[in-house]
Amino acid sequence: MVVPSTTPVVRQQTTPPQSSHAGGIPTVDLSAHGGRGALSRQVVRACAEHGFFRAVNHGVPPGPAARLDAAARTFFALAPRDKQRAGPPSPLGYGCRSIGFNGDAGELEYLLLHANNPAAVAHRARAIDAEEPSRFSNVVNEYVGAMRQLACEILDLLGEGLGLEDPRSFSKLITDTDSDSLLRINHYPTACNAHNLDHDSQCKMKSSVRTKTTSNGVKPSAGGRVGFGEHSDPQILSLLRANDVDGLQVLLNADGKEVWVQVPADQSAFFVNVGDLLQALTNGKLVSVRHRVIASSSRARLSTIYFAAPPLHARILALAETITANAPSQYRPFTWAEYKKTMYSLRLSHSRLNLFHID
């Protein structure tokens, strides 16, 4: 068994691995050399044990990501006053340092966009790329198309691995025409350039945000600047891709102990997070992972996350196959709209799914 640690280590396996754990991070090769059955079991295992894995050989061509990164860099290089035209995030749009509506903050600026509503993206693009808005919306739509496909592939593998009567149960939620999926582009500037975020009146936070001891008592990396604080993603599944700058950390369980594990940067991989809704849909079999970003002082990090979500009216309740006499329903049914309302009323680090737990 691999024990993830803050200094990633690879331990000898006593039993043959179902997926590799390079640097303490479970890795799944999606090219299915060992057959679809084995692959679906690996994906389920990673999501059940860690709620997180690095997907390699995923088959997503590099073009859409390169074009999106170039468009994002052009936008983030604009003067603060020009970027503010695409904000404030309410909840979508350009945001700077402030996260959500309840006082959370991080050392970053970001764009939050609809990932299933080209008209809304086209509207926002007018403020993001004033010269040629369709240039921006085209690259976003191309990228989210690729992400939706990859998310469906992973969700179908999960459906198969869990033995669902309809293995497409999860992916159907995100391919629905009303799916509420999002795209987030985060830019974590270097410590030297962080002051550039302050030039506009809507973006004033004098001191940088530093790590504090976390609720679970795990000591964060000394003196780290909190890029994005500890949280779980509320949606079904998140697909994260970043440049070659480290910063992402995940809270993994090793022999009953929770440990923050540094995720080594890998530009060619996608990092897959189980979200709160997938935990609820699987009656806690798959676990939504807590994660955070500690910003590097010397190199800027650019990351893009696709959050696969159901329609607002979707009713979230554990699938019948995940309920047994020994494992009764853990969560009361709720709609995604209800869950969103709750999440926006709480702080980033809140374990919000617990509020829906049946006592």
Selected from 148, 231, 241, 285, the binder of ligand GA4 by CB under 6 A is 231
Helix (H) / strand (E) containing 64: helix 63-76
CB of 309 to ligand GA4, least distance (A): 8
Burial 261-275 (b: 16+ CB within 10 A, else e): bbbebbeebbbbbbb
CB of 278 to ligand GA4, least distance (A): 14
97-126 footprint of ligand GA4 as x/- string (CB under 6 A): --xx-x-x-------x--------------
DSSP conformation class of 350: -
10 Å Cβ neighbour count for 114? Answer: 19
Selected from 2, 44, 150, 343, the binder of ligand GA4 by CB under 6 A is 343
When the beta carbons of 112 and 127 are compared against ligand GA4, the nearer one is 112
Question: Which listed range, 58-66, 70-78, 95-103, 213-221, lies at the site for ligand GA4 (CB under 6 A)?
Answer: 95-103
Restricted to residues 239-278, the positions that interact with ligand GA4 (CB under 6 A) are none
Strands 52-56 and 27-29: parallel
CB of 342 to ligand GA4, least distance (A): 9
Question: Which listed range, 47-55, 94-102, 125-133, 216-224, lies at the site for ligand GA4 (CB under 6 A)?
Answer: 94-102
Residue whose beta carbon is closest to ligand GA4: 100
Read off the amino acid at residue 239.
Answer: L
Instruction: Tell me if 234 contacts ligand GA4 by CB under 6 A.
Output: yes
When the beta carbons of 169 and 342 are compared against ligand GA4, the nearer one is 342
Selected from 49, 69, 233, 266, the binder of ligand GA4 by CB under 6 A is 233
CB of 110 to ligand GA4, least distance (A): 8
Nearest alpha-carbon partner for 105 in 206, 215, 219 = 206
Nearest alpha-carbon partner for 273 in 296, 311, 303 = 303
When the beta carbons of 115 and 162 are compared against ligand GA4, the nearer one is 115
The C-alpha torsion from 92 through 95 and 99 to 103, rounded to 10°, is -120
**Number of residues lying near ligand GA4 (CB under 6 A):** 16
CB of 94 to ligand GA4, least distance (A): 12
Restricted to residues 294-323, the positions that interact with ligand GA4 (CB under 6 A) are 307
Instruction: Tell me if 88 contacts ligand GA4 by CB under 6 A.
Output: no
CB of 343 to ligand GA4, least distance (A): 4
User: Phi-psi region for residue 100, left (φ > 0), alpha (ψ -120 to 50) or beta?
Assistant: left
Q: What share of the chain is helix, strand, coil (3-state, %, to 5)?
A: 30, 25, 45
Would you give the end-to-end CA distance of the chain in angstroms?
32
- The Cα 275–Cα 234 span in angstroms is 5
Beta strand residue intervals within 77-192, DSSP E: 93-99, 104-114, 182-188
CB 221 within 8 A of CB 281: no
Restricted to residues 147-186, the positions that interact with ligand GA4 (CB under 6 A) are 182, 184
Q: Sign (positive/negative) of CA torsion 281, 286, 287, 291?
A: negative
In the complex, which residues of this chain contact ligand GA4 (CB under 6 A)? 91, 99-100, 102, 104, 112, 182, 184, 231, 233-234, 307, 343-344, 347-348
